[in-house]
Amino acid sequence: MKKTSMNGYLAAGLILTGVLVLLIVAGYFWTPYDPNAMSVGPKFAKPSLQYLLGTDNFGRDIFSRVMKGAGTTFAIAVATVVIGAVFGTLLGALTGYFGGLADAVLMRLGDILTAFPSILLAMVIISIMGPGKTVNVVLALGLVFIPSFARVTRTAYAGLRDANYVKSARLMGASSARILWVHILPNIMQVLLPAITIGFNNAVLAEASMSYLGIGVTPPDASMGYMLSEAQGMFGAAPWYALGTGFFMVLLIFGVGLIGESLQRRDGEVD
């Protein structure tokens, strides 16, 4: 019974995310209309078969813009999570496995970082590195995401440090790198994968918030957050702009969230 519901989560999440990712990937090569071209249709056209999500004040096709903008957001979120997960796992592995002074110092540093709201921290970093560049948004968000990954993996690594199979690998003369990479990493996937899906969703939201606040992606690049801030000004005239964009983002987060949920449930089921 529980197994079917677990598979249901996973299947629903994969299908939903799959469709959206397909749209996003397609958006890199083809959109129904040029997303930045004005007057492809009348201004403020309601959603119709011709303009799926309607048009905005310049007569731009919103659906095309959503496809394009979601692509930017998606790319930033993926890059952010990759940075956070790779460096976080590396730090977590080293501190969790070896412990000692470096562990204490780095983890307290992580605590300090997490004490600030992540958006605020990212804003500070961006203002130092210089706003307006997508690369800087990715770097800032990635940096902010490292401590949470480090904490999750540190706990997992510390828990397996004295597992018997790790001891026997050590006894066989396996190097520390081999133990960390070959023996422990695959065994902590059950905590790392859900952390990655949650991290992805947080990254989508963080990018959107930052672009909405005007410190993220800047024109001509569209991103979901930037589009939402645009849509806000014409909410009365074209509510479909905000709703369509927001709905797409909600679906993306929901889909990835479902995948994460199914992974966590599976984790809970083991043993």
- Applying CB under 8 A, the residues found at the interface with other proteins are 163-165, 167-175, 178, 182-183, 186-187
Minimum gap (Å) between residue 173 Cβ and other proteins: 4
- Give the CA distances from residue 262 to residues 63, 118, 227, in Å, rounded to whole numbers and listed in that order: 30, 26, 31
254 token code pair: 């929901």
From the CB of 99, what's the least distance to other proteins, in Å?
10
- Largest Cα span, the chain: 73
| φ, ψ dihedrals at 216, nearest 5° | -100, -125
Half-sphere exposure of residue 21, counting CA atoms within 13 Å on the CB side?
A: 13
- Separation of alpha carbons 17 and 199, rounded Å: 15
Closest approach, Cβ 156 to other proteins, in A, equals: 13
- Of 50 and 175, which has the nearer Cβ to other proteins? 175
Which is closer to other proteins, CB of 137 or CB of 184? 184
Question: Residue 98 or 254: which CB sits closer to other proteins?
Answer: 98
- Work out how close the CB of 185 gets to other proteins at its nearest, in angstroms, rounded to a whole number: 10
Cβ nearer to other proteins, comparing 43 with 183: 183
Any idea what DSSP says for residue 214?
T
